[in-house]
């Protein structure tokens, strides 16, 4: 079974923005851990989130489902989710699902943090 490593940290240039580093595989077996870290952020009223996918190797429909299910709540709380460091293979899936219109995908953390 593939593993997923998640770590949340404050952005260096803006403490109101949380960076979530994602490493490994986000699929049906690991999506619960991803949901848990997001729910923990929401309990702390942290809704400005940057997902760093630089070390993500795979995302399944379960991972996309979580992203789509939480975006409305995040924006309702005056936050947003920006996505950075997306590999070309993962971006192709985002594009196929027409998600670049729903999520802002940027090259670097600095770019994403600067948009908040």
Which domains, and CATH codes, for the chain? 4-114 (3.30.750.24)
**Tens digits of pLDDT across the chain (116 residues):** 579 999 999 999 999 999 999 999 999 999 999 999 999 999 999 999 999 999 999 999 999 999 999 999 999 999 999 999 999 999 998 888 888 788 999 999 999 999 99
pLDDT at 1: 57
For 21, the token pair is 């580093």
In 3-state terms, what secondary structure has residue 9? strand
**Residue spans of beta strands (DSSP E) within 12-103:** 14-26, 48-59, 80-84
pLDDT at 94: 86
pLDDT at 96: 87
Q: Which of 43, 40, 47, 39 is nearest to 18 (CA)?
A: 47
**The whole model's pTM is what?**
0.94
Contacts of 104 (CB under 8 A, 6+ apart): 80, 82, 83, 112, 115
pLDDT at 98: 80
Measured from the Cβ of residue 80, the count of other Cβ atoms closer than 10 Å reads: 18
């Amino acid at each position: 079974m593939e593993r997923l490593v998640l770590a949340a940290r404050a952005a260096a240039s803006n403490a109101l923005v949380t960076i979530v580093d994602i490493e490994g595989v986000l699929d049906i077996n690991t999506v619960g851990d991803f949901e848990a870290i997001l729910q923990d952020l929401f309990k702390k009223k942290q809704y400005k989130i940057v997902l760093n996918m630089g070390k993500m190797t795979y995302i399944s429909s379960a991972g996309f489902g979580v992203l789509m299910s939480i975006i409305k709540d995040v924006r309702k709380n005056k936050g947003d989710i920006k996505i950075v460091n997306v590999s070309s293979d993962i971006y192709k899936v985002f594009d196929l699902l027409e998600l670049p219109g729903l999520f802002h995908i940027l090259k670097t953390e600095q770019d994403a943090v600067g948009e908040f």
